[in-house]
C-alpha cells in the first residue's frame, strides 16, 4: 500500500445547499511499547512502533462548520482550547489544515470553529498530540463522509483517518484503533504500512486487553525540548542505525508476547524501550534530559517492589518525565496500594492518572 494517495480534487461543495452542522469525536492517547523515534519524508517512521490504546487520557473535539461567508482563499478557523482562545495552537492547526486541503479541498469553502480539551495535562509527555490530532483527523474524515457519503466501509474510514492523523503527528495514527496498533512497515504483520497504522487488538491476549496504565505525574511543566525537535536530532545521531535495528528486533519479540500473554517478556521490552528512548535524548547533539529526579526514584522503588513481591508490574515512559506503571487487572489492589503509599508522594501535587487499555475513539 505504499502508493496510496488520498488527494481528491472532486470533493468540492455546492455551498448554497449546505446547512451548518457539527461533529464531535473523543479520541484517546496511546502508549508506544516499541517506540517511534526518528522520521523521514512527510512524517514517515524510521522504524515500526507498537502501542497500547489508552482510555481515560483523551481529547474531546467539537468541529462546527458552515458555508464560508467571505471569498478569501485561506483556512477560516476559530479555535478554543478549554473554552479559551489559544493563538499558538490555532496557528499550528491552520498550518495543518492548509496542508491537507488537497485531501479535503472543501475545507476552503467553510467557516470552521473548533472547541477542544484534554482530560490530562498537555505538553508533559502523555502524547497529547496523539489524542488531539487523531480527534481532528476523525472529525475531518467524518465531515467528508457527512458531506459526500464517500466512506461507508469502516476499515477504509479508519485507514484514511489514520493516514490523515499521521500527517499532523506520527503517533496520532495509532490512536485510531482500539486496544493496540502497529505503525510502520514490517514483515511481521501483513498489510502494515509507513503511511497509516493497522489494528492489533484482535490477536491480543486477554491479560493485555484490560491492562492498567497508571500515569505518575513527575512534572506538568512544558517539556524543554519538543518531540518534533527530538525527532530531528535523530538525523545525525551516532546510534541511530543501531537503534532502528534494535527496535525491529524488539518488535519481533513483542508481537508473540502480546499474543501468548507473556508478561515478563512484555515488561522487559517495555522498560528497555523506555530507557533507550531517554538514552537517545541524553546522547544526541545537543543532549537533553527530560527525566526528573523523582522519575528515577519511582523507577528504583518500582523495581524493588517487583523484586520483593514477584508481581508482574512494569514501567514505560513517553517523551517526558511521567512514569507509566503497567500491570494486569488481577493485581490491581496490591499495586494500587503500593502506588498510593510509595509513589504518589513522589508525584507533583501527589497527582497520578488511573488509565487502562481502551476501546479506541468514539463519536459523541
From first CA to last CA, the distance across the chain in angstroms is 31
Look at the alpha carbons of 52, 55, 56, 58 in this order and tell me if their dihedral is positive or negative: positive
Taking a C-beta distance cutoff of 8 angstroms, is the pair 355, 326 a contact?
no
What pLDDT, on the 0 to 100 scale, is given for residue 65?
A: 98
Beta-strand runs (E) in 177-251: 180-183, 197-199, 212-216
SS3 227: helix
pLDDT digits 0-9 by tens, 67-122 = 998 888 899 999 999 999 999 999 999 999 999 999 999 999 999 999 999 998 76
pLDDT value at residue 125:
55
How many angstroms separate the Cα of 166 from the Cα of each of 137, 163, 249, 262?
9, 5, 24, 30
Provide mean pLDDT across the span 19-24. 98
- Which segments of the chain belong to CATH 3.30.230.10? 15-203
Mean pLDDT of the chain: 95
In terms of phi and psi (left: phi > 0; alpha: psi -120 to 50; beta: otherwise), the region of 268 is: alpha
Question: Residue 112's beta-bridge partner residues?
Answer: 65, 77
Note the CATH architecture for domain 15-203.
Answer: 2-Layer Sandwich (3.30)
Whether the pLDDT of residue 11 is over 80: the answer is yes
CA distances from 228 to 7, 36, 43, 278 (A): 25, 12, 10, 15
Query: What number is the average pLDDT over the span 182-200?
Result: 97
Q: pLDDT by residue (tens digit) across 210-240? A: 999 999 999 988 888 988 899 999 999 999 9
231 neighbors 132 (Cβ within 8 angstroms):
no
Rounded Cα distance between 126 and 130, Å, is 9
Query: 206-362: what CATH class?
Result: alpha beta
> Which pLDDT belongs to residue 127?
66
Instruction: Compute the distance between CA of residue 130 and CA of residue 29 in angstroms, rounded to an integer.
Output: 5
Provide, rounded to the nearest whole percent, the portion of the chain with pLDDT above 70. Answer: 98
DSSP letters for 326-344: EE-GGGHHHHHHHIIIIIG
Quick one: which H or E segment has residue 157?
helix 154-168
pLDDT tens figures, 123-160:
555 668 999 999 999 999 999 999 999 999 999 999 99
Using CA atoms of 216, 220, 226, 227 in order, give the dihedral in degrees to the nearest 10.
20
- Residue intervals in the chain for CATH 3.30.70.890: 206-362
For residue 297, pLDDT beyond 90: yes
Region of poorest pLDDT, from 25-39, 67-81, 289-303:
67-81
* Contacts with 353 (C-beta within 8 Å, 6 or more apart), sequence order: 56, 57, 120, 126, 214, 215, 217
Among the ranges given (30-39, 55-64, 99-108, 126-135), the one the predictor scored with the smallest mean pLDDT: 126-135
* Across 163-176, average pLDDT: 97
pLDDT at 4: 86
pLDDT of residue 123: 53
Amino acid at each position: 500500500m505504499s502508493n496510496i494517495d488520498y488527494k481528491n480534487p472532486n470533493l468540492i461543495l455546492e455551498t448554497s445547499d449546505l446547512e451548518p452542522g457539527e461533529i464531535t469525536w473523543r479520541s484517546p492517547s496511546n502508549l508506544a511499547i516499541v517506540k517511534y523515534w526518528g522520521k523521514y519524508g512527510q512524517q514517515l517512521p524510521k522504524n515500526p512502533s507498537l502501542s497500547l490504546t489508552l482510555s481515560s487520557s483523551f481529547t474531546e473535539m467539537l468541529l462546527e462548520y458552515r458555508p464560508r461567508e467571505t471569498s478569501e482563499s485561506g483556512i477560516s478557523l476559530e479555535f478554543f482550547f478549554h473554552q479559551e482562545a489559544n493563538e499558538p495552537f490555532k496557528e499550528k492547526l491552520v498550518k495543518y489544515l492548509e496542508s491537507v486541503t488537497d485531501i479535503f479541498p472543501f475545507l476552503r469553502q467553510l467557516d470552521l470553529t473548533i472547541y477542544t480539551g484534554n482530560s490530562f495535562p498537555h505538553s508533559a509527555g502523555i502524547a497529547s498530540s496523539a489524542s488531539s490530532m487523531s480527534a481532528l483527523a476523525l472529525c475531518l474524515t467524518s465531515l467528508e463522509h457527512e458531506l459526500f457519503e464517500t466512506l461507508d466501509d469502516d476499515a477504509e474510514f479508519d485507514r484514511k483517518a489514520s493516514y490523515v492523523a499521521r500527517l499532523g503527528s506520527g503517533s496520532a495514527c495509532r490512536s485510531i484503533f482500539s486496544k493496540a496498533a502497529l505503525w510502520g512497515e514490517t514483515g511481521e504483520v501483513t498489510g502494515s504500512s509507513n503511511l497509516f497504522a493497522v489494528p492489533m487488538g484482535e490477536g491480543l491476549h486477554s491479560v493485555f486487553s484490560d491492562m492498567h496504565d497508571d500515569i505518575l505525574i513527575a512534572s506538568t511543566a512544558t517539556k524543554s525540548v519538543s518531540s518534533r525537535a527530538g525527532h530531528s536530532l535523530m538525523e545525525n545521531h551516532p546510534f541511530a542505525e543501531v537503534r532502528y535495528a534494535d527496535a525491529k528486533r524488539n518488535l519481533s519479540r513483542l508481537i508473540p508476547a502480546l499474543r501468548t500473554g507473556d508478561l515478563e517478556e512484555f515488561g522487559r521490552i517495555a522498560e528497555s524501550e523506555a530507557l533507550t528512548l531517554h538514552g537517545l535524548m541524553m546522547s544526541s547533539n545537543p543532549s537533553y534530559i527530560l527525566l526528573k529526579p523523582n522519575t528515577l526514584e519511582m523507577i528504583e522503588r518500582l523495581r524493588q517492589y517487583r523484586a520483593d513481591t514477584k508481581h508482574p508490574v512494569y514501567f514505560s515512559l513517553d517523551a517526558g518525565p511521567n512514569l507509566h506503571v503497567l500491570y494486569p487487572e488481577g493485581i490491581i489492589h496490591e499495586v494500587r496500594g503500593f502506588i498510593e503509599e510509595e509513589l504518589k508522594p513522589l508525584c507533583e501535587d501527589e497527582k497520578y492518572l488511573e488509565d487502562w487499555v481502551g476501546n479506541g475513539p468514539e463519536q459523541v
